[in-house]
Amino acid sequence: MKDSFGDKIFYACNYGILLLIALTCLFPLLHIVSLSLSDAHSIMSGIVTFWPRGWSIESYRQLFENTRIIPAFGNSAVITLVGSAISMIMTILTAYPLSRAYFIGRRFFTLAAVFTMMFAGGMIPHYLLMKQLGLINTYWSLWLPAAVSVYNLLVLRTFFANVPEEIEEAARMDGCGEWRMLMRIMLPLSLPALATLTLFYAVGYWNSFMSVLIYINETHKYNLTVLVQQMIRKQSVLTEMVYAQPDDVAEITGEGIKAAGIMVMIIPMLIVYPLLQRYFVKGVMLGSVKG
C-alpha cells in the first residue's frame, strides 16, 4: 500500500529525530578522537572540534610509556573474560530449568529472582558480606555478585521456553537426557540470545568502576576504567607527565593524554559490538516476546 502524505511526514520527522539523537552520541566521540590525535599547539589553541589538527600520536606514546595503561588493560581483560564466562555459565544453568514446565517450584524461583530486581541489600551489606567471605581485594568480589543478571536470566529463560516442543520431543525419543538436551539442542538454537547476553555481560564487566573502587584496595589491580578516571581527576599527575621531559613539552598536553586514555578504554567495545551486532536485535526480541 502506498504511503500517504501524512505517513511521509511522520517518517521524515522520525528519521530527523533519530538522526539528531545519533549525532548527539557521535559528536562527543569524534571530539575525543580528534583530541587524542591532535598536536599540543592545536589542543591548547582550542581549535580542535570534530577533526584532528596537526596530526600526532605523541599522546598515545606518552600514555603507554609513562602510565600503567598496559597492566590496567590486562586487568580489564581478565575481569571481562573470566567474569563473562562465569556469568554466562551461571545464567544458562539457571535459565534452562526455569524454562521447563515440569521443573517443580519454577514459579517460586522465578519470582524470587524478580524480587531481587526491586529490592537489594545495599552497598554496606554487600561490602560486609564480601569481607566475611574473604573476597576483598580479589576479583571474585566483582564476579560473584554479578554472576547472574536477572534481566538476562529472564531473556534467556523465555528464549529457551520458545524453542518448539516438537524438537524437544524428537530429542527425547532419541534418548536425549537433560545435559545433552541443553548442550546439543538448546544452546545451538540459542546463539543469537547467547551472543547478545555475552555482549551485555562483557560491557558491564569492562566498564566496572564503583565495584572496583569499593572492593579492590591495591592500585596494581585496578582496571582501565578506574585508571582513566584517576587520570582525569588528578590533573597534577598529567601535569607532571607533561613536564617530566622538557624536550616534549610542546608535543603533549594533559587533555591529549586523557583523550588517548579514553579511546584505549572504549576501542575494544567498539570492535566487539559490530561482530555481535547481527545477533543483537534478534536475540533481544526473540527472548523478550512470548509466542
Percent of the chain having pLDDT more than 90? Answer: 15
* Residue 187 pLDDT greater than 90, yes or no: no
Give the integer Cα–Cα distance in Å for 51 and 205. 31
Give the residue ranges of DSSP H helices in the chain.
5-36, 40-45, 58-66, 69-99, 106-118, 123-132, 140-143, 150-161, 165-173, 178-180, 187-189, 191-206, 210-215, 224-233, 235-244, 254-288
pLDDT for 86? 95
Give the integer Cα–Cα distance in Å for 201 and 231. 26
61: Cβ–Cβ under 8 A, 6 or more apart, which residues?
Answer: none
Q: What is the pLDDT of residues 109-145, one digit of tens each?
A: 989 888 888 887 788 888 898 999 998 999 999 999 8
Q: What is the pLDDT of residues 54-95, one digit of tens each?
A: 787 877 887 887 778 889 899 999 999 999 999 999 999 999
Give the integer Cα–Cα distance in Å for 30 and 14. 24
- Domains present along the chain, CATH in parentheses: 67-233 (1.10.3720.10)
- Which band of pLDDT confidence, cut at 50, 70 and 90, is reported for residue 241? low
Decide: 84 and 198 in contact? Cβ < 8 Å.
yes
- Which band of pLDDT confidence, cut at 50, 70 and 90, is reported for residue 291? very low
Name the least confident of 5-14, 47-56, 89-98.
Answer: 47-56
- Which band of pLDDT confidence, cut at 50, 70 and 90, is reported for residue 248? very low
Is residue 141 helix, strand or coil? helix
Q: Provide the CB-side half-sphere exposure for 270 (13 A, CA).
A: 9
Name the least confident of 42-46, 99-103, 214-218.
Answer: 42-46
Percent of the chain having pLDDT more than 70? Answer: 87
Cβ-based neighbour number of residue 114 at 10 Å: 13
Cα separation of the two ends of the chain: 28
Give the integer Cα–Cα distance in Å for 155 and 197. 9
* Residue 182 pLDDT greater than 90, yes or no: no
Cβ-based neighbour number of residue 83 at 10 Å: 23
Q: Cell 529457551 maps to which residue?
A: 160
Q: Closest Cα partner for 98 from 83, 114, 86?
A: 114
Identify which of 60-64, 94-98, 190-194 has the greatest average pLDDT.
Answer: 94-98
156: Cβ–Cβ under 8 A, 6 or more apart, which residues?
Answer: 91, 92, 95, 190, 193, 194, 197, 287
